[in-house]
Amino acid sequence: MITLYGMSSPNVRKVLIALEEMGLEYEVEHVAVFRGRHFEPEFLALNPMAKVPVILDPDGPAGSGPIFESGAILIYLAESYGAQFLPASGPERYSALKWLFMQVANVGPAIGNHNHFSRIHEDNAYAATRFRRMTAQVFRALDTRLAETPYLGGEAYSIADMAAWPWGKRFRRFGMKDEECPHLVEWVDRIGRRPAIAKADAAIKQLGELDSQDVRKATPEETAMFMGHHIAAPSAEEAGRLPSWWKGRREA
């Protein structure tokens, strides 16, 4: 059985979608990221970058070794169990891989940084503006591609779509209007009707409930761990300050 280590993030959601689309048996181990548990030695042994998702598939081709980085996980799952979601050769294979890596290299980082600098470090106007523009750029790039083909990889649904959908569905949250990206809107709605999406959403909801509990329970020291303050010593002001969005969730 495959074990997925994660919490309620878009990068974990994309792996859940793949597991459900491929009909694989799996179990989920919640990682209390909001309490800094991803920096504990046991988890660092799975991923030295202290990030989810990670999978273990001891009975599969990977053997006992963990696989981290969501793009690598999707390629592994498709090549091992879901060949219909990644062609073995030819132009559509490389098209799917191209858009998969576009997502992991650009879509996730742009939106993640936009979220970080607009909600946590509100005082950094330059960074907030920069990543807001980058976020608009990646949404428009997705829309342009989807004006040409029904799916990111081409004519067939692939792991590139699984990777981008959890981020693409958030376009309204980050300031994009429907009329700015009509092809993206149609793609989000179409993929959202797939049965595997509903199953993955149910798993994400459970993880989200655990994450909310962690936010409420987190001590100041655990919050500092979550923010990575132990990696490089923060200023006294930074160490003692909780982000406004975090404080609101703790008091909810």
Which tens digits make up the pLDDT trace of 148-157? 999 999 999 9
Q: What domains are defined for the chain?
A: 2-83+197-251 (3.40.30.10), 86-194 (1.20.1050.10)
**60-64, 228-232, 237-241: the lowest-pLDDT one:** 237-241
Q: Which among 179, 198, 194, 207 is positioned nearest to 11, based on CA atoms?
A: 207
Q: State the pLDDT confidence band at 119, using cuts at 50, 70 and 90.
A: low
Which strands make up the sheet holding 63-68, listed edge to edge? 26-30, 2-6, 54-57, 63-68
| Of 189 and 239, more confident | 189
Compute CA distances 179 → 125, 138, 148, 206, whole Å. 27, 16, 17, 33
What is the per-residue pLDDT for 245? 44
What distance in Å separates the CA atoms of residue 241 and residue 229, rounded to the nearest whole number?
Answer: 11
Residue 114: φ, ψ to 5°: -60, -45
Secondary structure string (H, E, C) spanning 164-193: HHHHHCCCCCCCCCHHHCHHHHHHHHHHHC
What is the per-residue pLDDT for 122? 58
Are 80 and 68 in contact by the 8 Å Cβ rule? The answer is: no
pLDDT of residue 200 exceeding 60: yes
pLDDT of residue 86 exceeding 60: yes
Average pLDDT, the chain: 89
Predicted model pTM: 0.88
Are 121 and 180 in contact by the 8 Å Cβ rule? The answer is: no
Q: Which residues contact 79 (CB under 8 A, 6 or more apart)?
A: 86
**Average pLDDT, integer, range 33-46:** 95
What is the per-residue pLDDT for 22? 98
What is the per-residue pLDDT for 130? 79
| Of 7 and 136, more confident | 7
pLDDT of residue 111 exceeding 50: yes
Compute CA distances 183 → 42, 51, 141, 217, whole Å. 43, 32, 11, 41
**Average pLDDT, integer, range 3-30:** 98
